[in-house]
Amino acid sequence: MRSTLARAGLLMPLTLFLVFFLVIPFLNIVILSFYTYSPTSIWIPKLTIENYRQLVEGSFITVLLRTLWLGLICTVICVVFGYPLAYFLARAEPRVKSVGLFLLLMPLMVSAVIRTFGWLVILGRNGLVNNMFHAIGFDRVGLLYHEPAVIVGLTNVFIPFMVLPLMASIERISPSTEEAARNLGASWFDVFRRVIIPLSSPGLISGCLLVYSAAISAFIVPALMGGARVQVLGRLIYDLLLISYQWPLASAITTLLVVATGVLISVALAVTRHSAKQEVSR
């Protein structure tokens, strides 16, 4: 009796809140994705799979493939820059580490708009990079509004998602394991390849999945740095919803992305949990 009361008091408020503001909105989206589009009344409640059929058509496939491709490139770059940083932070002395974490968390917590704005200033026609080119005698070039600009922006915004799980994973590797490898003749490259990467693979996997799932649903960076050319799923949803009012189609895309990220994230969590269990049994 008492515990029922406690349960009601402690857990019910949030559960109800989430049912109203999380579960119902997403159920609504799933339902809408099966409704029929109407140019006059936006949707009519007639069930159809037309919206999903449209997803396999040429124009959408192009956007989908571009989004997945950009996500992949962004993930790879995050690994390249994230591994050394994660290693450095994992092995740094406490004071250096807390400064390093601050400098990593700060950009993460500042709105993506502001970070993207910074890149606009750096890469713009009259920006920092072009000014340097100009100063050494080159012509000004359009660095923005191409895929590379979007990749720079995405990588920059999402790299903390890679570094944090990687760092946690590397912290669990005993430094003497690395020293043993060094002692046995391993170059640092060998140490990374044969010791650190295999032993931090859970962190690597969850970092990659987090970055990838964030990158394929990014909106701000492509919208501000991609110009008209770089259309991606996130922008497509925004445009379909707020500009062309094709809600059923937008719902279908959203449903697809929710399912995709759901799968990616559960894999990441399963990997983390599995390795945590192994840790215990070790």
Q: Which of residues 36-65 bind another protein (CB under 8 A)?
A: none
Could you say whether residue 195 binds another protein (CB under 8 A)? yes
Burial of 91 (0-12, 13-18, 19+ CB in 10 A): middle
Type of residue numbered 161? F
Query: Going residue by residue from 79 to 118, which x/- string records binding to another protein, judged by CB under 8 A?
Result: --x--xx-xx---------x-xxxxxxxx-xxxxxxxxxx
- Return d(Cα 250, Cα 239) in angstroms, integer: 9
Type of residue numbered 69? W
CA dihedral 243, 248, 250, 253 (to 10 degrees): -170
- If the CB atoms of residues 138 and 188 are measured against another protein, the closer one turns out to be 188
Could you say whether residue 35 binds another protein (CB under 8 A)? no
Which residues, 221 to 260, sit near another protein by CB under 8 A?
224, 234, 237-238, 241-242, 247, 250-251, 254, 257-258
- Part of the chain binding another protein (CB under 8 A), chosen from 50-58, 60-68, 127-135, 139-147: 127-135
Which residues, 134 to 193, sit near another protein by CB under 8 A?
156, 159, 174, 176-177, 179-188, 190
Cα–Cα distances in angstroms (integers) from residue 37 to residues 30, 239, 245, 261, in the given order? 14, 16, 9, 26
For residue 257, the minimal CB distance to another protein (Å) is: 6
- Return d(Cα 29, Cα 20) in angstroms, integer: 14
- Return d(Cα 27, Cα 223) in angstroms, integer: 27
Q: Which of 213, 231, 246, 275 binds another protein (CB under 8 A)?
A: 213
Could you say whether residue 5 binds another protein (CB under 8 A)? no
- Return d(Cα 147, Cα 225) in angstroms, integer: 9
- Part of the chain binding another protein (CB under 8 A), chosen from 25-33, 58-66, 133-141, 143-151: 25-33
- If the CB atoms of residues 205 and 220 are measured against another protein, the closer one turns out to be 220
For residue 1, the minimal CB distance to another protein (Å) is: 14
For residue 266, the minimal CB distance to another protein (Å) is: 9
- If the CB atoms of residues 58 and 109 are measured against another protein, the closer one turns out to be 109
- Return d(Cα 96, Cα 126) in angstroms, integer: 36
For residue 62, the minimal CB distance to another protein (Å) is: 20
- Return d(Cα 115, Cα 12) in angstroms, integer: 38
- Counting residues that bind another protein (by CB under 8 A) gives 95
Q: Which of 6, 65, 263, 270 binds another protein (CB under 8 A)?
A: 6
Nearest to 168 by CA among 194, 205, 195, 213: 205
